[in-house]
Structure 1
């Protein structure tokens, strides 16, 4: 057993975050990410500088940068396709529908976008890391209703840099890295009257600020939301309070146990 599993178990014994004993045992004794991912990945071929990843049941190919550890790919695949994983976005209440306008905040390698692309009306992939922007262009470049937006999302607009740490890259106003533009969901969608109905977000700790920057959008369109909360111990409560303050009709469900803090992994919101 890995140290991570024991850390989660210790948190579970103190605070369960809605996790049942059966779910805890499935997590503790379950197979590795690599083993689970093998059940979803049909084949991987090399096309320098990418891996061409074919996921079972999906006709489109994912172009994955070869210099990123394959473990990160395995993790992303499992998080997006395994309903038992606490990071899974599409629980029944937050499943993507055919008429949805989907905003993928922190699209990264694009595996979530690949999964929902042919099951929604419009898909907006927001990703600031240049490496991923290029690979998203390879994956979705010919798509008729996929739009790649090379920005970071926050509660205000400003210029920043981003470190190249693959799926855990972080933005900074003073650090080193590639220069990027930070904007808000309201600026991208509300000001253009785009009727967003679904928001997926995994923003390495900027999740709360992203929602604050989309307050008017959320008030008007009341999208279903699946957003990570594990980066900060307080985020699950902060997001719940924010959403129910601006749209009291929101129903909230959080799930999972993060090994480092014991906080919930994901929060789902719907009306």
Structure 2
């Protein structure tokens, strides 16, 4: 294994071991995690959210400004000052919250919250768990990704540490891509398999079921094309692993992994 790749593996291992996301995590006092909201790559590379009012830490929990987060996720937000209620809507999803009330209503069904919404300085804050319990998004957390606490909020499934940290040029399942002179890509051998047991010849449906929703989905109606999964990343840094599955009429023909650059 090259020295450069070894360093990347060590860094990735150390920074991603916490990505199962304890939604009430222990953070250093006064350190506010950076937040990355990823709703897909159609409009360019994902970036950090810039809150007019930053998230706050309280008893080891992160509280996020509700309106800024929801609008980033393309929800409409309406505030009724008389009733202290917030209505959030997008397509067929309608959510009602009330300041101080630990029960939200989602499409008119009650849903308990671990902490009620609260108003501070004219801004409504909700706990990070709200993102998964009410908005239905995936949330990943690392205490020290590239030396700073970071939260990813995404519709998509990110690669787990065990999906990528095993990769090295001598791995029995993968080999350097002979068509790539940069040395940054590996291809799965004909008899290889991914850590989750995916092999060439498996179906598109099996990969979807195994890995979840991909960030990039370029499959046509005949089941031909590619889907791509990313690891957690720092925007614009090049520090990201990607795993690309290629299909021909719904059958897996190639798996390529790109290393951080």
Q: TM-score, normalised by structure 1?
A: 0.24
- Larger fraction in strand: 2
Which structure has the larger Rg? 2
Structure number with higher helix proportion: 1
